[in-house]
Structure 1
């Protein structure tokens, strides 16, 4: 069902905090204050945000150019920025279609104002775990043909899912609806430090009033790809996932990182 959450600008949201870390303008005092607290635990969080955004850009470009994907579902799309999914995909083929899914009221308001002029995009108001509603709603069916390959993007979003939803189950629910030859791109916040995983998780749960999951370990994220065919270079710190140039200076995060990759849905047994 659509998310009916009201806008309470005194409560930070992960989407608006991410926007601030990227240098965006769709954030408020509470979001900025929460980010300052986050930076006290993890000073390279801005680098994490940038690396996540660059991974999304590269993954969409690879999917469109090399694999011929023309349909994209962006789960937990966040606030609109330059070089969003439809910008990249439609630069390869203007006929590409993109469905964005988010539940943050500010994301929905800004997204709709930007996407209204592009009839090959839509933004759906829904909790990303409500796959039955998402795949069944009219806006989704208008743009996405599940008889053709689709790319599902679960990029830097599963750590935001409250603990009642297991991220691996969400991936499986999405994948079971996709035609073989479709793709799934996933990255997730991870840390080798148990202390940092605990501190950041507790901070975000407190700040967002429970609209958060947890920071995980790499082996947990690896399990989300079970049954999928992981494409080169495998599951890595996304900074190292097919960088545009080996000579490009990479801004690495230290305390935590985004870990993941790209995988293809194989033929059914």
Structure 2
């Protein structure tokens, strides 16, 4: 089973002549087939951690490894889905998905065949020749997910991908993500500040406080696996166990906010 790890991660940024520690000796691992969700307030270091795992942000010290091999920079084993979909508006949906395959040297017929397969997986098969501007917010996020999947990464890294969507579209995208996870077996790493989203999507839920980022809690959560096993969303979210853990997490963040306000 493949494992993506960050070991003893240290990262600081300088702002207005002052250095702020963002990550301080942080350790984390993600197994292929797991859904690791990091939950924390804005500014705690979630996005910095994702950028480190993606290879976009070099560490001051520490390392990122895949099965013991140190990774330097971005790579095809990690696909990234952004909150602002980062799509290319001058290309249609098919070519947005296929562009990564083009960079890998695949011929047009092969990359378009693969792109159509992935568009089918995310429910956009009938929108292959739509421009980005013709797609809704939810459709653009589906397209961003398809683009990340096209190169067949072992791990998907998702940076608050549904934060800008309305509540109904957001839940539909959460369900789609779990359906894709079930069908592909990818390792997921998703960051969010939504407690409900974290509980529903995670097999392994990490509560992050900071900065500097520190793991304040870690939970094995059953709800994502219950969904892919066939239980309905409404049944899961109305389960008292879901509500109790939700309240525990909310209480934690309310307490943290009150302590920081002192």
Normalized against structure 2, the TM-score is what?
0.35
Q: Which has the higher relative contact order, 1 or 2, with Cα contacts under 8 A spaced 6 or more apart?
A: 2
Task: Name the one with the larger strand percent.
Answer: 2
Normalized against structure 1, the TM-score is what?
0.35
Larger radius of gyration: 2
